[in-house]
Structure 1
Amino acid sequence: MTVIDAVRGDLAEVRAEVDATLDRFLVEKARTAPDPCLPPLVGVLREFVAGGKRLRPLFCHCGFVAGGGSPHHRAAVWTGAALEMFHTFALVHDDIMDRAELRRGRPTLHRALAERFADEHGPAGGRHEPSGGRGDGSATERFGVNLAILAGDLCFTWTDEMLDRADVDRRRWREVRSLLHAMRTELIAGKFLDLRGTPRAAADPVRSAWRTTRLKTSRYTVELPLRIGAALVGGDPALMRVCGAYGRPVGEAFQLRKDLLGVFGDPGATGRPGLADLRRGKPSVLMALAWQQATPEQRDQLSSRYGDPELDEDGAARLRDVVVATGAVARVERLITTRVDRALGALRSSSMNPAAKDPLAELAAHPTRRTP
């Protein structure tokens, strides 16, 4: 077995521990629910939670080990599971705002809940109608959205309960909570910017896109979970600085790869509809660079097609050709490489526990791969 195989095995074991903790927690919540209406809702949520990449728990685990913590300590496992529960809240509400139909190749929670409950209970206030196409506004669809909002709120609430079960050292509790509060607040700010749509009208569209990326993804996905893990074990200021020096560029690289996959990825691999990101016209560094570097004719194509809710496959192919022709794709690939190299350099020069370095190097390599 190679070192990389061993590292991947270790990370797989962490994922399995987090999966098991989340599942046990949700089974308990269904069993102890205060009313019979909740267990079926929790059951659908339990199916939705299964199968994630668990990036935030993995980085939390690495931060904990980097500070000298035991790999399977209860505090690291339960805190990682709590971060994943919060991420579930974020995904559920994000899918509602985006009117998304698929997540991880399966129906989004609001659609799954509409299918599960509408025929059984019907929406309050009148007869429900069959759910039609994307965003049809039917009573059944609205019922599913309303239930998903409640389910997301449950996940947010349960995040704190799971943290309570982590048995965090009281001397370190304040810093852990402070980092979690920052994580939550920055995510909301990033989503606010995300909802504003394409940044091309901004004075500096690339800078505007980076602002959204750093708030919504880079710190939220890597740096803050890493810092939370380090805080759990009382990491010193030097370790916290390494968490930032490694975490910021890796988080940015993850989002840059996600941007590329959103435009060029295979839906079978990404688990999302192939035209979803193009139709929504979300702000991204990729599209901001394409706009910045485009000719007037290319800008006309970008303006007319990116963010068009009726975009078809032919229009998407033409849009992709324009993005490539501007040189934006090649530039983003270089940005990914330089950021991963920067993170790995910070990792190599750090004095953190060597047991954390190989897993962090393996995780940093993910954005350099052209598949999810």
Structure 2
Amino acid sequence: MTTTSPPHDADLSSIEETRAALLDRVEERLRSFIAQEQSRWFDINPRAAQGADAIAAFIASGGKRLRPKFCLSGFLAAGGSPASSGAVDAAAALELLQTFILIHDDIADNSSLRRGEPTVHEVFAAEHRARGWQGESRRYGEGVAVLAGDLAFVYADQLAAQLPALSRGVWNELRAELVIGQHLDMVVAAEGVGDPVLSRWIAVQKSGRYTIHRPLVLGATLAGRPDMAAAFEGYGLALGEAFQLRDDLIDAFGSTEDAGKPTGLDFAEHKMTLLLALAAERDPRVRDLVDRRDGKPWDVELLRKILEETGVRATVERTIAGLVDKACASLATSGLDEAWRHEFSRLATQVAYRSR
């Protein structure tokens, strides 16, 4: 794994403390913004506040805050002022965008848990059942949750409204890539397309660019350094692919307790992940198992067994390590100072080798 020589502890502490202070401001911005929305809609009618209430609960449930962290890291590494309110709003907007996509994703994946708690659509469906309301509880829960996700998307754009032109362009591209990537993820799963090239492209679009690359570039442009886009693209795309591969491994082999959400959902929903596409390319047994047009469930345990036997799991681990090396090496000629190069190396390891 590529590493840089550790800089002075004081430099690293300064980076972490400055970013932590900004992340605290992001949390406060999210809390105060959503609280204001809850209040104004509640005053009209308590039911009108349910969407904002769901967003508030979702954000309060935790999350890794990776996108705000990378946005602020790009901003600070590019020389942005810690006093900036624009960077705080941009980072908060990214977390609201993440709220939007995860609420929708849980519906698409038929997931009952997120961060160890019932998903938004399950909460609303349970309320419908408990109160004996008219109609179908599942459809009600999913419909109301979709609207809560839409509201999070609206709020994200409100916080991003004051972005300067260059940053706004990055924001717009980020949102489009995310939605198109999610769309393709669903369509390819439905069609049963086992194409590693396409699967890799989808992983890059819906995860790599959205999670790391675009937030970094968004932060850099806010700091007035769009010239850093190329270096952050090399880092972000390589690390983003490693991030998605780790996600695939967690879903395939991890536990629900550790992940905070049901694992095995990619298999259950016939998702042609990058992991599975690579396996299908190597072993005809995998192709036979996933190439089903009759809509019947895949044999999940047999798939896991074959992935182990064929060495695909080990191959993916080696691929992740290589991608981390590639990400870190891409910053060698970026002009970043030693402390920031070391910090980005640390973040790469943290992201690529997480357990949830």
Gaps of 5+ in 2: 1-7
Identity %: 34
- The 1:85/1:201 distance shift into structure 2, 3 A limit, reads closer
- The 1:89/1:300 distance shift into structure 2, 3 A limit, reads same
Residues 1:331 and 2:315 are matched in the alignment: yes
- The 1:308/1:226 distance shift into structure 2, 3 A limit, reads farther
- Equivalent residue letter for 1:189: I
Output one character per residue of 1:133-170: Cα deviation in whole Å (capped at 9) or x when no partner.
Answer: xxxxxx11111111112111111111121123xx54xx
Residue 113 of structure 2 aligns with which residue? 102
Residue 134 of structure 1 aligns with which residue? none
Answer yes or no: is the 8 Å Cα contact 1:281–1:308 preserved in 2. Answer: no
Answer yes or no: is the 8 Å Cα contact 2:270–2:290 preserved in 1. Answer: no
- The 1:199/1:254 distance shift into structure 2, 3 A limit, reads farther
Answer yes or no: is the 8 Å Cα contact 1:110–1:148 preserved in 2. Answer: yes
Residue 168 of structure 2 aligns with which residue? 177
- Higher relative CO (Cα under 8 Å, sequence separation at least 6) belongs to 2
Answer yes or no: is the 8 Å Cα contact 2:239–2:352 preserved in 1. Answer: no
Residues 1:247 and 2:236 are matched in the alignment: yes
Residues 1:206 and 2:196 are matched in the alignment: yes
Query: 187, 202, 206: which one pairs with 1:216?
Result: 206
SS of structure 1 residue aligned to 2:188: coil
Give the C-alpha shift of residue 206 in structure 1. 1.0
Answer yes or no: is the 8 Å Cα contact 2:250–2:263 preserved in 1. Answer: no
- Equivalent residue letter for 1:234: G
TM, length-normalised to structure 2: 0.87
Query: 325, 329, 334: which one pairs with 1:350?
Result: 334
1:257-336 matches, cutoff 5 A: 257-294=246-283, 296-303=284-291, 309=297, 315-336=299-320
Partners of 1:359 and 1:72 in 2: how far apart? 21
Query: 173, 186, 193: which one pairs with 2:184?
Result: 193
SS of structure 2 residue aligned to 1:282: coil
Partners of 1:195 and 1:218 in 2: how far apart? 17
- Equivalent residue letter for 2:353: R
Partners of 2:29 and 2:158 in 1: how far apart? 13
More displaced, 26-35 or 60-69? Answer: 26-35
Residue 4 of structure 2 aligns with which residue? none
- Equivalent residue letter for 1:74: S
- Equivalent residue letter for 2:252: V
Answer yes or no: is the 8 Å Cα contact 1:179–1:224 preserved in 2. Answer: yes
Answer yes or no: is the 8 Å Cα contact 2:124–2:144 preserved in 1. Answer: yes
- Equivalent residue letter for 1:101: S
Partners of 1:246 and 1:218 in 2: how far apart? 10
More displaced, 74-83 or 92-101? Answer: 92-101
- Equivalent residue letter for 2:71: C
Give the C-alpha shift of residue 79 in structure 1. 0.7
1:48-127 matches, cutoff 5 A: 48-50=58-60, 51-116=62-127, 119=130, 122=133, 127=134
TM, length-normalised to structure 1: 0.84
- Equivalent residue letter for 1:26: I
Residue 235 of structure 1 aligns with which residue? 225
Output one character per residue of 1:30-89: Cα deviation in whole Å (capped at 9) or x when no partner.
Answer: 112262222243223211122011111111101111210123521111110011111111
- The 1:116/1:62 distance shift into structure 2, 3 A limit, reads same
